[in-house]
Chain A
Amino acid sequence: MDMSLFLVQLLNGVQYGLLLFLIASGLTLVFGVMGILNLAHGSMYMIGAYLVYYFASATDSFLLAVIIACVIAMIIGIIIERFLIIHLYNRDHLDQVLLTVGLIFIFNAAQSFIWGNDPLGVEVPELLSSSIQLTDIVEYPVYRLFLSVLCIGIALAMYYVINNTKLGMMIRAGESNREMVENLGVDISKLFTIVFAVGVTLSALAGIVSAPIVSLVPGMGERVLISCFVVVVIGGMGSIKGAFVAALLVGIVDTFASVLLPGMSSMTIYLLMALILIFKPQGLFKS
């Protein structure tokens, strides 16, 4: 592999990793604070992508579509938390699995009802549709760079919020000791609603911004969900820092595996996970 190709793959790997981080951070945040494993997390990724497809063609503005899709995703999150997830606190893991599997079924049916089963695509917004020249022959699309920058920006924002704001303080406290938070007099139900809505919106956002570089197909949510599990298992459930490191690791390994080991590329990250689990059953960064 020559240097420029290596660089392109590295950029792709980092970009994919950052996108995975966006999704995984939502999943791990919801688990860390609320103790809920949301299997329908990947469905929100899918819903985000389809929403932006719909509104981009309806409004002719990608930016506007992104905003509308985010708002809708957040509203869906609030509705799910208020009406369904709220019954799951203090129930066992199995009930969480079932209810969220039920949600996946509903989301998949909705997707197929509204948009059908044929693959769809979203155009890259004009402003970001150019490419930059890496070497004489190799160029790299600006949109992918933009994605990486955006994800890093969101990661930094999350870091700031968690470490410097009152909401962040509650989240950190919730991760270490849920009862303590309640004793502190925090309105726990409001905190849970916010965290859940933000969590699913992060996933939807990942779907929204990656819509122009992937094709929208049924089942895209589940694929992402499972990659996301690998990230969270490697990083340590409930640890956002762990999710960040693991997401980059998974993104880069997966990208290079598809170039270097074409026969078994889709297995590589699972092998990586199994390997890490043998030595660190609780993940790299147990919180």
Chain B
Amino acid sequence: MSECVLQAENLSKHWGGLKALHEFNIKFYDKSLHSIVGPNGAGKSTLLNILCGTYPATKGVILYKGNNVTGLKSYQFCRKGIGRSFQKTNIFKASTCLENCCIAAQQRVGGSFNLFKSRQSSQFIKQIASDALAQVGLSGRADTVASAISYGEQRQLEIAMVLATDPQVLLLDEPMAGMGHEESLTIIELLKQLKQRYCIVLVEHDMDAVFELSDLMTVMVDGQHLITDVVDNIRANPLVQEAYLGNDDEVF
């Protein structure tokens, strides 16, 4: 297996008395897709939010390529190469799709405090942005305002923006939430492409997609790590089935 890029050690997050995440250990490897599943309220989103610095961890350490990144501000995580997408579509709706990606690309190129250089002047920024749009298959929508494209396309744009920041790790929070079957298939194809180049951490409820895409799976329950293994072993594991039995809404 390839090298481990992102690692959490004894990660905990307590909201008052509630242990949303408890003593969590996990490793994510480069060029692979690692999905995290579990019943609602298991702490998947909390884990993701801590891994990209949205909230500070109560306890524990996050290591990125062997460096301790715990306690960095959330914007610094992105600069290190840990990009994230949001569960609820979170884009700049008033701007065109290309501009959305340009905003992301400019962060990586720099010069954002330049008051006089026109934002349109850099071909380099535009190139990165167009490439990102091309990767998710939105090239045809470059000049369309983001609020005018379909919901599925907005989810794709969401991923394109993360790509434009040149990440090494992609933390994807339910990229298929609320999508129709066709649209989901597009994303699945996209993720298959992307996992050959990035370390992807996927939180997703669509189990078919998870089984199809994952190299490794982690099941978590009540903020705790239950098991991490390859897909086939997870499917057969009695512990996992037990964990899901109480939840009618999610069945394998």
**A and B touching (C-beta < 8 Å)?**
no
